[in-house]
Amino acid sequence: MRVLLVRPWVNKKITTVKNFLFGEPLGVECVATILKEQGHKVLLADFMAEPNGRLGAYINKFRPKVIGITSQCTDVENVVKIAKIAKKYDKDIKVIVGGVQAMVYPNSFFSKYVDHVFKSTTRANYKELMELIASGKKQEKAIVGIFSKELNFENAVEGCYNEYVRPDTKCSKRYRHLYKYVGFQPCAVVQTSFGCRNRCNFCVRWKLEGPTLREVDIEQIVQQLEELKEPYVMICDNDFLINKKRLEKFCELLEERKVKKKYICYGSVNSILEKKDLFKRLFKNGLIAVIVGYESFDDRQLKEYNKAATTDENLKATRILQRNKIACWGSFILHPDWDKNDFKKLLKYKNLLRPELMTFSPLNPHPLTPLFEEYRDRLLYYETDYEKWNFGDVLIMPSKMSLNEYYLEVLKFTFAVNMSWYSFLYTLRAFPIKNTLRMTFGFNTLLSVYIKNFFRTYMSSKRRIA
What is the contact surface with ligand B12 in residues (CB under 6 A)? 7, 10-11, 14-17, 21-23, 25-28, 30-31, 48, 68-70, 72-75, 96-101, 103-104, 118, 121, 162, 165, 189, 191, 204-205, 208, 236, 238, 389-392
Q: Which is nearer to ligand SF4, 81 or 197 (CB)?
A: 197
Min dist CB 87 to ligand B12, Å, is: 16
CA-CA distances (angstroms) from residue 267 to 263, 296, 328? 12, 16, 10
Here's the x/- map for ligand SF4, 347-366, by CB under 6 A: it reads as --------------------
Q: Which is nearer to ligand SF4, 239 or 387 (CB)?
A: 239
Regarding 205 and contact with ligand SF4 (CB under 6 A), the answer is: yes
Q: Which is nearer to ligand B12, 189 or 218 (CB)?
A: 189
Min dist CB 229 to ligand B12, Å, is: 18
Q: Which is nearer to ligand B12, 48 or 241 (CB)?
A: 48
Min dist CB 150 to ligand SF4, Å, is: 37
Min dist CB 108 to ligand SF4, Å, is: 23
DSSP H or E segment with residue 182: none
292-321 binders of ligand SF4 (CB under 6 A): 293
Distance CA 370, CA 195 (A): 17
Here's the x/- map for ligand SF4, 239-258, by CB under 6 A: it reads as x-------------------
257-276 binders of ligand SF4 (CB under 6 A): 268
Regarding 200 and contact with ligand SF4 (CB under 6 A), the answer is: yes
Span near ligand SF4 by CB under 6 A; candidates 76-84, 89-97, 199-207, 398-406: 199-207
Strands 214-215, 193-194: pairing is antiparallel
Residue 179: contacted member of ligand SF4, ligand B12, none (CB under 5 to 8 Å, by partner type): none
Q: Nearest 5 degrees, angle CA 316-CA 317-CA 322?
A: 100
Contact 371, 365 (CB under 8 A): yes
User: What are the φ/ψ torsions at residue 372 (nearest 5 degrees)?
Assistant: -55, -45
Min dist CB 203 to ligand SF4, Å, is: 3
Distance CA 300, CA 396 (A): 19
Considering only 126, 206, 263, 426, the residue that binds ligand SF4 (CB under 6 A) is 206
Q: What residue is closest to ligand B12 based on CB?
A: 98
Distance CA 54, CA 52 (A): 6
Residue 49: contacted member of ligand B12, ligand SF4, none (CB under 5 to 8 Å, by partner type): none
Min dist CB 268 to ligand B12, Å, is: 13
Regarding 29 and contact with ligand SF4 (CB under 6 A), the answer is: no
Distance CA 268, CA 187 (A): 22
CA-based end-to-end distance of the chain: 62
Q: Which is nearer to ligand B12, 36 or 316 (CB)?
A: 36
Min dist CB 208 to ligand SF4, Å, is: 10
Contact 265, 241 (CB under 8 A): yes
Distance CA 273, CA 293 (A): 14
Residue 191: contacted member of ligand B12, ligand SF4, none (CB under 5 to 8 Å, by partner type): ligand B12
Neighbours of 278 (CB within 10 A): 19
CA-CA distances (angstroms) from residue 290 to 36, 50, 456? 34, 30, 36
Distance CA 159, CA 156 (A): 9
Residue 172: contacted member of ligand B12, ligand SF4, none (CB under 5 to 8 Å, by partner type): none
Distance CA 90, CA 397 (A): 46
Residue 98: contacted member of ligand SF4, ligand B12, none (CB under 5 to 8 Å, by partner type): ligand B12
Beta strands, E only, 128-192: 146-148, 180-181, 187-190
User: What are the φ/ψ torsions at residue 327 (nearest 5 degrees)?
Assistant: -75, 145
Nearest to 331 by CA among 241, 391, 379: 391
Beta strands, E only, 101-254: 116-118, 146-148, 180-181, 187-190, 193-194, 214-215, 232-235
Regarding 203 and contact with ligand SF4 (CB under 6 A), the answer is: yes
Min dist CB 312 to ligand SF4, Å, is: 18
Neighbours of 442 (CB within 10 A): 18
Q: Nearest 10 degrees: CA dihedral of 98, 103, 238, 255? A: -30
Residue 200: contacted member of ligand SF4, ligand B12, none (CB under 5 to 8 Å, by partner type): ligand SF4
Regarding 196 and contact with ligand SF4 (CB under 6 A), the answer is: yes
Cβ neighbours for 402, distance < 8 A, ≥ 6 positions apart: 457, 461
Min dist CB 296 to ligand SF4, Å, is: 12
Residues that bind ligand SF4 (CB under 6 A): 196, 198-200, 203, 205-206, 238-239, 268, 293
